[in-house]
């Protein structure tokens, strides 16, 4: 009996390994089937949920829109600089992501402030400096509150007055959602780092939907 | 044989435990209660190993700072901190909110912090906390 359990455990462990070896990330969110006419024939195509247009300002005072992220894989989260509970934990973990991919050209981190009244460009800049974030690979954005809250829904997270989820959302170059990770859990953030590597290796990354 | 060894070992531990001095028991009580208070009120910002967070949140690993400011630590916890502090070579000027902890909890968490992360300063008891709190600026 003991050997049987061991054998089953062994098989499970092996199959777990083979699963991760050939792993592609799922595409999350809503999807619709659309019928298109290609060369006179009608074809059914799947249209996935994507991140809609937005326009915000980053910690350097630059205007940042969805277009600024064209050609980038990015991770998004929602926070505010005076948040006393989960934000320090989230950004302590996000620093690992930042340092892992800092020198990579097609990767960014986007942190949307849910408290634009307090988190002015200056406050965001100071926060980034103190966190040790330089350059343009991690942007801290602020804009209209309503825009931020409604944009959060497109990332499948909740953000409202003074409250927000702690998820890190992984977005691919076609602006589709490819993963959602609890930013306060170091193990999930480790998985995020591995998933970013998988996503960067995906061959059709440059094709814009 | 194995069982006998376990029983013997257990007896040794119990005997060892009963030989602890009153002070050590007191310390253990403060320290273990303090670790729970730390997890609930301090760890998010200061980190689970007291490492702080870049230049945002100061570390709790600087024994020199803790010793030098020992009499003020209780006040920091009760009233928060809004003036900049220098820990090691770095200045931290982020605000720390008042903790909302009772003097007993302050004593517990200070015993935990000042005896963890490479610090070793002994028990910080409730009487000391209450005395220090009267001197807050």
How do residues B77-93 score in pLDDT, each as one tens digit? Answer: 999 999 999 999 999 99
- Domain borders along chain B are 21-134
Decide if A89 contacts A168 (C-beta within 8 A).
no
- Other Cβ atoms within 10 Å of A169 Cβ, number: 25
Residues facing residue B40 across a β-bridge? none
The pLDDT score that the predictor gives to residue A155 is 95
pLDDT higher than threshold 80 for residue A111: yes
Of A146 and A6, the one with more pLDDT = A146
pTM: 0.80
The pLDDT score that the predictor gives to residue A13 is 55
Tell me the nearest-neighbour CA distance from A86 into chain B, angstroms: 7
The pLDDT score that the predictor gives to residue B10 is 63
Chain B residues within an 8 Å CB radius of A132: 54-55
Residues B11-24: what's their mean pLDDT? Answer: 70
Nearest CA in chain B to A85: B44
User: Does residue A145 sit in helix, strand or coil?
Assistant: helix
Of B36 and A209, the one with more pLDDT = B36
The pLDDT score that the predictor gives to residue A68 is 96
Decide if A31 contacts A45 (C-beta within 8 A).
no
The partner residue sitting opposite B54, judged by closest CB among A85, A89, A131, is: A131
- Lowest-pLDDT range, A83-92, B6-15, B108-117? B6-15
Model confidence at A205, pLDDT cuts 50, 70, 90, reads: very low
The pLDDT score that the predictor gives to residue A103 is 87
Model confidence at A20, pLDDT cuts 50, 70, 90, reads: very low
The partner residue sitting opposite A132, judged by closest CB among B44, B55, B97, is: B55
* Residue from A87, A92, A131 whose CB has the most chain B CBs within 10 Å, to mutate: A92
Yes or no, beta carbons of A88 and B97 under 8 Å apart? no
Residues A103-108: what's their mean pLDDT? Answer: 92
Nearest CA in chain A to B56: A130
- Lowest-pLDDT range, A148-157, A195-204, B124-133? A195-204
The pLDDT score that the predictor gives to residue A41 is 86
pLDDT higher than threshold 60 for residue B17: no
Decide if A177 contacts A184 (C-beta within 8 A).
no
Task: Respond yes or no on whether ipTM tops 0.95.
Answer: no
Q: For the segment A74-103, what is each residue's pLDDT rounded down to a tens digit?
A: 999 999 999 878 899 999 999 999 999 998
Q: Which residues contact A150 (CB under 8 A, 6 or more apart)?
A: none
* Residue from B40, B50, B53 whose CB has the most chain A CBs within 10 Å, to mutate: B53
Count the alpha carbons within 13 Å of A96 in the hemisphere toward its beta carbon. Answer: 18
Residues A31-46: what's their mean pLDDT? Answer: 86
CA distance B121 to B100: 24
Model confidence at A7, pLDDT cuts 50, 70, 90, reads: low
Task: Please tell me the class of the A52-206 domain.
Answer: alpha beta
Chain A residues within an 8 Å CB radius of B97: 84
Decide if A94 contacts A57 (C-beta within 8 A).
no
Yes or no, beta carbons of B54 and A86 under 8 Å apart? no
The partner residue sitting opposite A85, judged by closest CB among B44, B54, B57, is: B44
The pLDDT score that the predictor gives to residue A1 is 60
Residues B15-26: what's their mean pLDDT? Answer: 77
Q: Domain B21-134: which topology? A: Cytochrome Bc1 Complex; Chain D, domain 2 (1.10.760)
Yes or no, beta carbons of A86 and B44 under 8 Å apart? yes
Residues facing residue B87 across a β-bridge? B90
């Amino acid at each position: 009996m003991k050997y049987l359990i061991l054998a089953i455990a062994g098989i499970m462990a092996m199959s777990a390994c083979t699963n991760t070896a050939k792993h592609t990330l799922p595409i999350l969110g809503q999807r619709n089937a659309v019928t298109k006419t290609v060369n006179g024939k009608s074809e059914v195509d799947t249209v996935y949920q994507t991140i809609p247009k937005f326009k915000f300002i980053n910690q350097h005072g630059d205007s940042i829109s969805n277009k600024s992220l064209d050609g980038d894989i990015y991770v998004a989260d929602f926070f505010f600089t005076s948040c006393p509970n989960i934000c320090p934990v989230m950004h302590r973990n996000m620093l690992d992501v930042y340092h892992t991919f800092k020198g990579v050209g097609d990767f960014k981190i986007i942190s949307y402030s849910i408290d634009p009244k307090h988190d002015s460009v200056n406050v965001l800049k100071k926060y980034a400096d103190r966190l040790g974030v330089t350059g343009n690979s991690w942007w801290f954005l602020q804009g209209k509150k309503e825009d931020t809250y409604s944009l959060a829904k497109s990332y499948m997270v909740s953000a409202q007055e003074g409250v927000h989820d702690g998820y890190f959302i992984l977005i691919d170059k076609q602006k589709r959602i490819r993963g959602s990770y609890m930013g306060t859990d170091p193990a999930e953030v480790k998985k995020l780092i591995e998933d970013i590597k998988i996503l960067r290796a995906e061959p059709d990354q440059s094709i814009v939907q | 044989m194995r069982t006998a060894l376990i029983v013997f070992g257990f007896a040794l531990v119990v005997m060892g435990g009963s030989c602890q001095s009153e002070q050590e028991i007191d310390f253990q009580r403060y320290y273990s209660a303090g670790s729970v208070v730390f997890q609930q009120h301090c760890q998010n910002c200061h980190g689970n190993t007291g490492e702080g967070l870049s230049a945002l949140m100061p570390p709790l690993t600087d024994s020199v700072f803790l010793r030098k400011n020992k009499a003020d630590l209780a006040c920091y916890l009760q009233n928060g901190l809004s003036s900049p502090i220098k820990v090691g070579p770095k200045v931290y000027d982020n605000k720390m909110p008042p903790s909302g902890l009772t003097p007993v909890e302050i004593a517990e968490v200070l015993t935990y912090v000042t005896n963890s992360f490479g610090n070793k300063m002994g028990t910080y008891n409730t009487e000391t906390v209450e005395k220090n709190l009267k001197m807050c600026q």
